[in-house]
């Protein structure tokens, strides 16, 4: 297998990808016992690093694992992984598992976590997806009750996303007790009568960094933005629907369950928000925004 990156970080070492080895008794492999983060890199700068590290701290605390590095150490590790001559935007993938131990559900004492990270080029959505929007399907949210933890155990998410792909869609919009939670790998926004609405934070959604930024930008520019439960009927009568994530940014959803959203085209609120988001990104690259 060829790898786009020249090196990975594993437990204090920088290695070629094909030389990196993890024990088959790693609890990440055996139990899915670990967490991860994905951090975009624009213009060589780690995007909203403090926010990502704060979420990392929350995920680690939730699974009762000590953070193995300080913010300064993480910054050094990530920076060393970045392709220095890379012209394209990149992303850092970080994974921390509880480490290697004999298989037993109970936490082993005195265990050393496994820390793995690498950088790769950021893959953006094709331009036609941004111009025309994408299709999504609604499906029952079959995941566990702690979706706020960015856990590596993503089998339910993978099954839900594949269900969408099998139906010719790009994303699954997850519904729990008649209320939209999020996408299989994204947060969901709806626009209704000029108001932007997204699910409030809680144990059933991952607190997306891009989600938070969209809320922040909206409020800074006088766009009505509410964090409220989104009922299925609100979704089906929405003027616009978007998905947000670090890699897909802000992508319009123009068809849900084979029915058009609004007039079936990306709407004016998306045009405005995406322009504001791009302005923010440009300011960040120029060192004028955090």
Residues labelled as active-site residues: 150
* CA distance linking residue 244 with residue 252, whole number of Å: 9
DSSP conformational letter for 106: S
Residue 26: beta bridge partners? 100
Q: Order of strands across the sheet with 114-121?
A: 13-15, 8-10, 114-121, 90-97, 34-42, 45-46
Helix (H, G, I), strand (E, B) or coil at 280: helix
- Cα-flanking dihedrals φ and ψ of residue 269, to 5°? -65, -40
Which H or E element spans position 20? Answer: none
CA distance 22 to 36: 16
SS3 content of the chain, % helix, strand, coil (to 5): 30, 30, 40
Residue 225 Rama label (left phi>0; alpha psi -120 to 50; beta): beta
Rounded CA-CA distance 188/242 in Å is: 6
CB atoms near residue 166 (< 10 Å): 9
Q: How far apart are CA 75 and CA 81, in angstroms?
A: 10
Cα 263–chain centre separation: 28
What does each C-alpha distance from 30 to 22, 108, 143, 159, 233 come to in angstroms?
12, 14, 19, 19, 41
């Amino acid at each position: 297998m060829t790898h786009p990156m020249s090196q990975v970080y594993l437990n204090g070492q920088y290695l070629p990808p094909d030389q990196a080895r993890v024990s088959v008794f790693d609890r990440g492999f055996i139990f899915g016992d670990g967490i991860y983060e994905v951090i975009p890199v624009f213009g060589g700068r780690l995007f909203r690093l403090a926010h990502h590290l704060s979420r990392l701290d929350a995920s680690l605390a939730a699974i009762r694992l000590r953070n193995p590095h300080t913010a300064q150490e993480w910054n050094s590790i990530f920076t060393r992984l970045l392709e220095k001559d890379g012209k394209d935007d990149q992303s850092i993938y970080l994974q921390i598992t509880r480490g290697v131990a004999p298989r037993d559900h109970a936490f082993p004492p005195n265990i050393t976590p496994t820390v793995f990270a690498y950088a790769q080029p950021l893959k953006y959505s094709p331009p036609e997806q941004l111009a025309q929007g994408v299709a999504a399907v609604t499906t029952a949210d079959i995941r566990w009750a702690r979706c706020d933890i960015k856990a590596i155990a993503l089998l339910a998410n993978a099954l839900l996303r594949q269900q969408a792909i099998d139906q010719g869609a790009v994303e699954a919009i997850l519904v729990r007790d008649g209320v939209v939670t999020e996408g299989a790998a994204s947060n969901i926004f709806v626009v209704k009568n000029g108001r932007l609405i997204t699910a409030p934070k809680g144990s059933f959604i991952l607190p997306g960094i891009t989600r938070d930024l969209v809320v922040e930008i909206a409020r800074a520019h006088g766009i009505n933005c509410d964090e409220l439960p989104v009922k299925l009927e609100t979704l089906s009568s929405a003027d616009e629907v978007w998905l947000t994530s670090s890699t897909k940014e802000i992508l319009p959803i123009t068809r849900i369950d084979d029915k058009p959203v609004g007039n079936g085209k990306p709407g004016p609120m998306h045009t405005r928000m995406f322009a504001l988001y791009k302005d923010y990104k440009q300011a960040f690259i120029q060192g004028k925004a955090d």
